[in-house]
Amino acid sequence: MAKRLFDMSVSAVALLLLALPMLLIAFWIRMDSPGPALYRQERVGRHGQPFRIHKFRTMHLRTGEDLPLTADGDARITRAGRWLRGRRLDELPQLWNVLCGQMSLVGPRPEVDRYVQQVPADLRAIVLSVRPGVTDPAALAHRHEGEILARAKDPEQCYLQDILPNKVRMQADYIRRATLLTDLQVLAKTATVLFTR
């Protein structure tokens, strides 16, 4: 209950304080490339329930199915998107997901169902037992994931074999020992990483 109250309070205040900057970002995205400012994608949430995650759009609109992974230097990324991704500002709209109760400020990053099904059942049950988060220790440890995928011969195979298993182990470890204090520490580290890039 304390975690949920904390999430609601912080996300509500943050959305109010960041309303103007987010509006300017949305305008920039619309001016930079055709298409909507926001991007929505179905992810797997708590107890396996699907929900739509919100992000600022950082890619050109395309038809057909695209790989749900993005490596650094991906041709789909817009000019505005490259800047936003480098500073993780494309994640700001997820504060709305937090306020609505679909996500938490700190928790395992939500995956698409395609990758959730590749996680062993025991670890999958642990990771899906809590609300997914905007940030977590695994996301911080793998913040240069795009660089690794860009060097990989097969990005998806690299993700499934090397990155995802390590992420899931870290997420399960976080869940087992999570407290409001550890969440504050993760948020502080996230802020440090963002501001120092």
Q: How far apart are CA 100 and CA 56, in angstroms?
A: 18
- Supply the pLDDT for residue 164: 96
Over residues 76-91, the pLDDT tens digits come to 899 999 999 988 899 9
Instruction: Check if the beta carbon of residue 39 is closer than 8 Å to that of residue 58.
Output: yes
Over residues 101-123, the pLDDT tens digits come to 999 999 999 999 999 999 999 99
Over range 112-135, report the average pLDDT: 96
Give the pairing of strands 104-106 and 133-135: parallel
Q: Residue 137 CB: number of other CB atoms within 10 A?
A: 20
- Supply the pLDDT for residue 72: 82
Instruction: For tokens 């120092």, name the residue.
Output: 196
Instruction: Check if the beta carbon of residue 128 is closer than 8 Å to that of residue 47.
Output: yes
Residue type, 134: V
Q: How far apart are CA 92 and CA 89, in angstroms?
A: 6
| pTM for the model | 0.92
Where do the domains of the chain lie? 2-196
- Supply the pLDDT for residue 195: 77
